[in-house]
Structure 1
Amino acid sequence: MSTEAPLISDPLMELVNAFKAALRPTSAPPSASGCPMAMPVTFAGKAAECSGFLLRVNLFILMQPQQFSLENTKVAFLISLLTGKALQWAKAIWNSNNPIINSFEQFTKHFSEVFSTATDTLTTSDQLFRLQQASVNDYTLRFHMLVGASGWNKIALLCDYRQGLNPEIRAAMALYDDSIGLESFLQRTTRVSQRLAACQPPVTAPQSASLAACSPVPEPMQVDSTRLSRTERNHRISLGLCLYCGHQGHLICNCPVRPPRPVVSTTHSDVETTHLTLLPVVLHTTEQSLSVSALVDSGSFGNFISQECLNQLQLSRQRHSQEYAVKTIQGKPLGRGRIRHSSPFITLQVGLFHSERIRFLVLENSTVSIILGRPWLQQHLPELHWDPCDITSWSDRCYEQCLSNIPRSPPILIHLSSTQVESPEPEIPPEIPAEYMAFEDVFSKQAATHLPPHRPWDCAIELLPGAQLPKGKIYPVHLEAPDDGG
């Protein structure tokens, strides 16, 4: 005798199944007053589809008021259209007997708060502010999609729309004042764009010699050189995604990964260029040596070598352990924008005696062979003479490690001798004979270093009366130039 376990019924599933059975068409022919609305599609929880799903549900209920007289009936109908994580959320709300299941307005409000908020998308105001024209029709369509949820007034919307236009169309629309209204301004913009396109001269077929220069380069967004499908294009426009790479936060005109368009011809003008600070260096490998010029750049985050220079040294690059994103001072990608490879260790010689083993990051499409950046400057602390670029001094660390091969001459012994002018005072005073003891002060060395004291009297010199003075030639006090005449 076998016993069957009682089936556990789910009240939510029973209600959903009963409601679906009530909505199945009967065998009777539909009446003229039948609902013209199609059944809304199911919703799985995608934030981009939430507002459209609620709109279809509200329209379906609005067209059949006799079937949705109760609030919980409307809620049950909405739940019957849920799948995936949205159904799991509704099941938790229903099983907990939350009061919002008795009010369709509160339920849809809470439903919108849960599923229509996307943390990775821009707000409507941000999307309007960043909206730029690619084609006037697409631009106007995208603008209409954002206007309803923006909350902006008509004047602000018209000003934002005008700023997003191409300069040519914006200049043509300068004839119209803001008083014509937003809708009239949008319609006239479309007509002006169509007329400007019709006035453009026809594009003549290029000659066969320039076909290669005029052919467009296939872009990543074009699979097998084909354009986006209309469905994918509308999907990206509705979500505010870039039409080129499919990412958020920018439009196709500002896409950072989109390569520049090739041009047929360009006009070159002579401009004054600034010479870079280039330092002559020598790269040594086990096979060869190569003299190149290195750019000393304190603003560079690393030390770089060009792919061309690495090829000249016949060295293979290696996959680096870390990938770097390299940008210019304007924030644009430098080269391909990514550094993924590094060189093997190379001997770098600066000057005659400074040498080191160094590993460079490989920079593709570089116009300079070597870039010595901030890490190299912080390591060696050189003193630079900028014009011309030369290193005048190295750090103490360099004298111990990088300049160890400097030839040293043997030490030279120099003998120095000194002469003392004044002899030291003898410790024992000199012996003075007894007969000279009265004149002891005359023999004092210390007293001999001073002049005798000044006397107040004048010692007269007595002349002999009647003595004959000595005869001699008298010379003048001032010398005069000799007389050439004799």
Structure 2
Amino acid sequence: MVKELSHRLTSPEQASSPAQSLPGPVLPAPSNLPSFRVATSPPPETFDGNREVCRGFLLQCQLAFQRSPESFYTDEIKISYIIGLLRGKALRWAEAKSRNPHFLKSPLDEFLADFKMTFDKPESAAEVARQIWSLRQGKLSIADFAIEFRTLAATSTLDEASLKGAFSQALNEQLQDQLAFCQEPPDLESLIALCSRMEKRHKVRQRVDSGCELNLLDQQLVEQLLVTTFPLQTPYRVSSLDGGSLTSITHKTAPIRLMTS
């Protein structure tokens, strides 16, 4: 029996039979997806306890957490990151709270609730509405005033008609007078765009009509409108009402047709 087993193991048929080959490694199919890299952003600014910027500070921290979830994978790490950005009275508050050993290891929601209760500036819907209706444009341009108005409007519960009324009331009298002759815009953004166009036209008129005895144009307006100019043989001296010398006119324009509305 042993000889028969030895014969089978050394028989030519068994030795010559090809061995089964193992499957080779499978290479991944090339991906057609475009590669991208997350843009790096500067760290949030430090927070010294100013209640006016509390929400903005927390928003920047939240964005930092979302950009690097692999770095901020626990609430304890997020809390430590926020505390590392505190300065002044905000840092003194954190130092006092940290005497409780559970403070730094509390859930993030509890930490933020405590943080907002101390440093946030909660405002009721009525308070926001009051601030909106008390706004005035003053010496601000429409672009700058619109930023201030939109910021408050974003947190208000006023409807579109009320926001349009508040914005119109806050404008300077000159713009309010011009709006009286215009069709009412359908929404706040259309109203802001209309006022911006009227403001630009008013500035152009101010440059053209300067109260001078001659017809003069501002140099910046000439360059902006690409008006052709020619040098004067004899420059004009410009004087103020008290006789003081202001400047000299050295060029004249080609004939132009000015249309105003």
TM-score, scaled relative to structure 1:
0.33
Is the alpha carbon distance of 1:68 and 1:125 closer, same or farther for their aligned partners in structure 2, counting shifts above 3 Å? same
Query: What is the alpha-carbon distance in structure 2 between the residues aligned to residue 110 and residue 52 of structure 1?
Result: 17
Matched-pair contact (CA < 8 Å) for 1:94–1:101: no
Unaligned runs of 5+ in 2: 1-34, 213-237, 245-261
Query: What is the alpha-carbon distance in structure 1 between the residues aligned to residue 153 and residue 53 of structure 2?
Result: 18
Residue number in structure 2 paired with 1:156: 162
> Deviation of residue 173 (structure 1)?
2.5
Residue number in structure 1 paired with 2:57: 53
Residue number in structure 2 paired with 1:210: 242
Higher relative contact order (CA 8 A, sep 6+): 2
Identity of aligned residues (%): 26
> Deviation of residue 78 (structure 1)?
0.5
Q: Does 1:96 align with 2:128?
A: no
Query: Which stretch of the first structure deviates more once superposed, 65-74 or 194-203?
Result: 194-203
Alignment of 1:405-424 (within 5 A): none
Residue number in structure 1 paired with 2:81: 77
2:195 to 183, 189, 198: 189
Q: Which amino acid in 1 is paired with 2:210?
A: V
Query: What is the alpha-carbon distance in structure 1 between the residues aligned to residue 179 and residue 76 of structure 2?
Result: 53
Q: Which amino acid in 2 is paired with 1:48?
A: E
Q: Deviations over 1:294-329 (max 9, x none)?
A: xxxxxxxxxxxxxxxxxxxxxxxxxxxxxxxxxxxx
Alignment of 1:334-353 (within 5 A): none
Alignment of 1:124-135 (within 5 A): 124-133=128-137, 134=139, 135=141
Unaligned runs of 5+ in 1: 1-30, 213-486
Q: Give the greater-gyration-radius structure (CA).
A: 1
Is the alpha carbon distance of 1:73 and 1:100 closer, same or farther for their aligned partners in structure 2, counting shifts above 3 Å? closer
Is the alpha carbon distance of 1:210 and 1:53 closer, same or farther for their aligned partners in structure 2, counting shifts above 3 Å? same
Aligned Cα RMSD in Å? 2.9
Q: Which amino acid in 2 is paired with 1:37?
A: S
Q: Does 1:111 align with 2:115?
A: yes
Matched-pair contact (CA < 8 Å) for 1:61–1:74: yes
Q: Deviations over 1:60-117 (max 9, x none)?
A: 1111111112122211110111122111211222322456853323322331221133
Q: Does 1:140 align with 2:146?
A: yes
Residue number in structure 2 paired with 1:198: 204
Structure with the larger strand share:
1
Matched-pair contact (CA < 8 Å) for 1:40–1:53: yes
> Deviation of residue 182 (structure 1)?
1.4
Q: What SS is found at the alignment partner of 1:43?
A: coil
Matched-pair contact (CA < 8 Å) for 1:101–1:107: no
Matched-pair contact (CA < 8 Å) for 2:97–2:103: no
Query: What is the alpha-carbon distance in structure 2 between the residues aligned to residue 42 and residue 100 of structure 1?
Result: 19
Residue number in structure 1 paired with 2:235: none
Residue number in structure 1 paired with 2:171: 165
Residue number in structure 2 paired with 1:177: 184
Query: What is the alpha-carbon distance in structure 2 between the residues aligned to residue 106 and residue 167 of structure 1?
Result: 49
Matched-pair contact (CA < 8 Å) for 1:47–1:118: no
